[in-house]
Amino acid sequence: MHGFSDGTAATILLAGGLVLSSLAFLAAAPGPAQTEAMGFWEASARGLVSVTMQEETYQRGEVTVTLPVGIRVDNAAGVPVSVSEEAVLMSPFPSESPPGSGATTQDAVLTTRSIPAGGSLTYFFGEEVLRGFLQGPLWWCTEEFQFTRDGVAFEVGGEILPFDLKPVLADEHWETPDSNTQVDFWDAVRTRAAVVVGKAPLWTTVPARAGEQVQVDLRATNLAVYTFEDAVTADVNVTDGVIEDRVPAGWGVEEGSYDVPPDEVLDAPDGSRILRWRVDLPAAVESDEEDPREPTAYETVHRSYVLVTPALSAGRVELPRALSDTDADGIADAHSAPSLIDAESTESPPVPDAGGPYAAAEGDTVLLNASGASDPDGDVLSYRWDVDDDGTFETGWSTDPTAAARYVDDFAGNARVEVTDGRHTVSATASVTIENVAPEILSVSAAARAEFRLAVAGEKWHDVHLEVRSGPDVVGSARVVRVPGSPAHQAQSTGELTLDLATGLAVTVAYTPADDPLNGRAGGDSPAWLVLAFPDGSEVRFSHNFNAQRESTWTWDLRDLGPAFAAQGLALEARVRDAGADDLQVTWDFDDGSKAVQTFPSSGDAPSGATSVVLHAFEEAREYRVSVVVVDDDGGSAEATQTVRFP
């Protein structure tokens, strides 16, 4: 190992069998899965990635060392950044001036990895990792005798490791200082040409119209080193090799823009044009000066021209990669990183207009209208509506600017419309005010359920007739004609009746002996019984004596049924309705000091309604003014009063 220090910063010299590495540190832990990763070279061109030499302290056997052997990649992007191919870092970069005193001159290869969004990743020199001194992703030296310095930044170009060197680094091993992956790599660049090619721009933007210009710069460098060792006889220089680029179909080259015209321009079957330059790329001569601060004397060939765009659709275009063909055999030996162009639309976006302001009552349908929207370019517009601006669009895309929105509850907010011309999407809002509507009471009733059974004894062939009236309507009747036999067997029933006591109840039994056949004494009695039977099985019995000679007895008006009905209880029913989809609460006041409350949650539909039924028994048979109040969840209310009269 050869160490070097200028007194102000730790430095390290990598030579021969030296192997240095560094611990892998994640500045930010990877988060949950995010959107698709961005390429390393695009992120670099956007200024979202930086690459810096980093000093590390670690235990190397029994010795603790602090050396600048890490290469830290910082990612400021909101997505992961992927190093999807082995990236060649060159220091100094071929387009830079020679470095000042103490600058990093070490070139390196970064292996494939992903840098977390908003985080960082530190690569470590491969031999130390293979020897177990350190752990983490690997970087490899492309120069055997060079200089590193903490804090020095690399410029990222588009150079990718040549194809035939990738298997060398993929074979990771370390047996001795003279037998390991790093030594294999250094031996490889002494025994074969190793041309890397870069192409700029790595990423840029252009307006999506014809005639835009894109400056293209190509760089080719032979990383091979010519050695004077007698054992190495390979010719690692490139003579009359080929650097190739391609002009996509439909694109052009600005006249006079070539810095060096291509030696060949070929038309490809797909309409593209192939540009080929014949180049000589000598290997660097192995230096006999032991000063690693001087960069390796690589010779880089530059070629440039200006592309002219056709009319593009807004979106991404990937230009063909530049290629190197060291022996001009038609088979590429290396290619550049992707060159990406984002074409940005030059058309103006639509001008949105959501109409409004809108006002209505809950349960109403509001016609939202964005017909005031316009497009400066005259494009056909499509619309979709988020009727309450909650982030969920209730309508799909449609060329109809209107939408019928039904608001089932009171609301104060906005409706949002999105408008698109197919390239740009914009939005606007309009205020919407939906007023609450108080609920309604549609009807109130007070009903009793009972069966009336009529039985008669006494004079045979005489008849009696029962009639039950609720208000003006006859709701039940029964007729008994007395015949020989037990009166109980001759009883007749109205069946169970539902009686509306809010409209009054009249029960009458009539005796008509004048048209009946005579039997026995003319003045004989005909006793009658009326049984009031309730659904719970309880009964109340009433009796009366009819006399054929006393006409005043012929009509029996039952006026004392009230206590029986009051004690048994009534079914009070109120039908209520709300124009919206509100929760409803119904409160009953029975006019006897007691109340009952029922709640009806909304189903979400509008209009909404409910039927409130309560059973209530009264202590006295008198007139009651029963009130019912319905209140919605916004405070709207309605009230009704019902008079209940017990017969």
Give 518's pLDDT tier (boundaries 50, 70, 90): low
Averaged pLDDT, 162-177:
95
Which pLDDT score is estimated for 635?
92
Measured on CA atoms in the order 154, 156, 161, 162, is the torsion positive or negative? negative
**DSSP letter (8 states) at residue 97:** P
Partnered with residue 122 across adjacent β-strands are 72
Give 596's pLDDT tier (boundaries 50, 70, 90): very high
Tell whether the model's pLDDT for residue 27 goes beyond 50: no
Tell whether the model's pLDDT for residue 217 goes beyond 80: yes
Runs of H (alpha helix) within 294-333: none
Tell whether the model's pLDDT for residue 516 goes beyond 50: yes
Lowest mean pLDDT among 212-216, 276-280, 385-389, 524-528: 524-528
Give 242's pLDDT tier (boundaries 50, 70, 90): very high
**Hey, what are 39's tokens?**
């390429």
CB-based contacts of 364: which residues, under 8 Å, 6+ apart? 406, 407, 434
Tell whether the model's pLDDT for residue 86 goes beyond 70: yes
Angle at 528 between CA 522 and CA 530, to 5 degrees: 165
Lowest mean pLDDT among 91-105, 233-247, 314-328: 91-105
Please report the beta strands in 309-371, taking only residues with DSSP state E, as ranges in sequence order: 315-319, 323-325, 334-335, 339-344, 358-361, 365-369
pLDDT digits (tens, 9 = 90+) for 43-57: 999 999 999 999 999
pLDDT digits (tens, 9 = 90+) for 66-82: 988 899 999 999 999 99
Q: Which long-range CB contacts under 8 A does 4-11 form with residues at least 24 apart?
A: 4/147, 4/292, 6/101, 6/102, 9/55, 9/68, 9/102, 9/149, 9/150, 9/151, 10/55, 10/66, 10/67, 10/68, 10/150, 11/68, 11/102, 11/147, 11/148, 11/149, 11/150
Tell whether the model's pLDDT for residue 26 goes beyond 70: no
CB-based contacts of 46: which residues, under 8 Å, 6+ apart? 77, 203
Nearest partner of 584 among 614, 613, 610, judged by Cα: 610
Angle at 44 between CA 41 and CA 46, to 5 degrees: 110
Give 7's pLDDT tier (boundaries 50, 70, 90): very low
Which pLDDT score is estimated for 87?
96
127 or 148, which is more confident: 127
Which pLDDT score is estimated for 547?
86
Give 233's pLDDT tier (boundaries 50, 70, 90): low
**Hey, what are 77's tokens?**
């992007």
Tell whether the model's pLDDT for residue 625 goes beyond 60: yes
Which pLDDT score is estimated for 645?
83
Averaged pLDDT, 331-356:
93
Tell whether the model's pLDDT for residue 326 goes beyond 90: yes
Q: Go through the domains of the chain in sequence order and give each one's CATH number.
A: 2-189 (no CATH), 358-435 (2.60.40.10), 449-558 (2.60.60), 568-644 (2.60.40.10)
Tell whether the model's pLDDT for residue 30 goes beyond 50: no
Averaged pLDDT, 178-196:
93
Averaged pLDDT, 8-21:
37
Averaged pLDDT, 492-497:
91
pLDDT digits (tens, 9 = 90+) for 427-457: 999 999 999 999 999 999 888 889 999 998 8
**Hey, what are 138's tokens?**
């690997």
Give 490's pLDDT tier (boundaries 50, 70, 90): confident
Q: How many CB atoms lie within 10 A of CB 533?
A: 17
Which pLDDT score is estimated for 570?
87
Lowest mean pLDDT among 282-296, 349-363, 446-460, 547-561: 282-296
Q: How far is CA 192 from CA 85, 336, 399, in A?
A: 21, 19, 64
Averaged pLDDT, 192-215:
95
Percent of the chain scoring above 70 in pLDDT = 89
Which pLDDT score is estimated for 12?
45
Averaged pLDDT, 333-352:
93
Which pLDDT score is estimated for 239?
94
Which pLDDT score is estimated for 98?
54
